[in-house]
Amino acid sequence: MQSGRSCLAILLAAGEGTRMKSGRPKVLHEVGGRSLLAHALASLSEAGADAVVVVTSPDRPEVAREAQALLPNAQIAIQAERRGTAHAALAAREALAVGYDDVILAFADTPLLRPETFGALRAALSGGKAVVALGFEARDPSGYGRLVTRDGELEAIVEHKDATPEQREIRLCNAGMMALDGKQALSLLDAIGNDNAQSEFYLTDAVAVARSRGLATGALTAPESEVQGINDRIQLASAEAEFQRRKRLAVMAEGATLTAPETVFFSHDTLIGRDVVIEPHVVFGPGVSVADGAVIHAFSHLEGAEIGPGASVGPYGRLRPGARLAAKARVGNFVEVKAAEIGAGAKINHLTYIGDATVGANANIGAGTITCNYDGFFKYRTMIGAGAFVGSNSSLVAPVTIGDGAFIGSGSVITEDVAPDSLAVGRGRQVTKEGWAHAFREASQARKAAAKKP
Residue pair 127/184 in contact (Cβ under 8 Å)? The answer is no
The total of other beta-carbon atoms located within 10 Å of residue 374's CB is 12
Does residue 280 have a cis peptide bond before it, meaning omega lies within 30 degrees of 0? no
Q: How deeply is 416 buried, as exposed, middle or buried, from its count of CB atoms within 10 A (0-12, 13-18, 19+)?
A: exposed
H or E element, residue 69: helix 61-70
Which among 36, 186, 8 is positioned nearest to 103, based on CA atoms? 8
Residue pair 299/316 in contact (Cβ under 8 Å)? The answer is yes
SS3 content of the chain, % helix, strand, coil (to 5): 25, 30, 45
Angstrom distance (rounded) from CA 116 to CA 106: 14
Which among 102, 124, 133 is positioned nearest to 207, based on CA atoms? 133
**Phi–psi pair at 244, nearest 5 degrees:** -65, -40
Angstrom distance (rounded) from CA 348 to CA 362: 10
Three-class secondary structure of residue 77 per DSSP: strand
**350 in active site:** yes
The total of other beta-carbon atoms located within 10 Å of residue 39's CB is 23
Three-class secondary structure of residue 76 per DSSP: strand
Sign of CA dihedral 158, 161, 167, 168: positive
Please enumerate in sequence order all residues whose Cβ is within 8 A of that of 394, keeping only pairs 6 or more positions apart, or say none: 366, 368, 369, 370, 408, 409, 410, 411, 412, 413, 414
Which among 219, 225, 128, 206 is positioned nearest to 172, based on CA atoms? 219
Would you give the end-to-end CA distance of the chain in angstroms?
95
- Which residue in the list 160, 268, 281, 350 is annotated as catalytic? 350
How many residues would you count in the chain? 454
Three-class secondary structure of residue 61 per DSSP: helix
DSSP 374: B
The catalytic site residues sit at 350
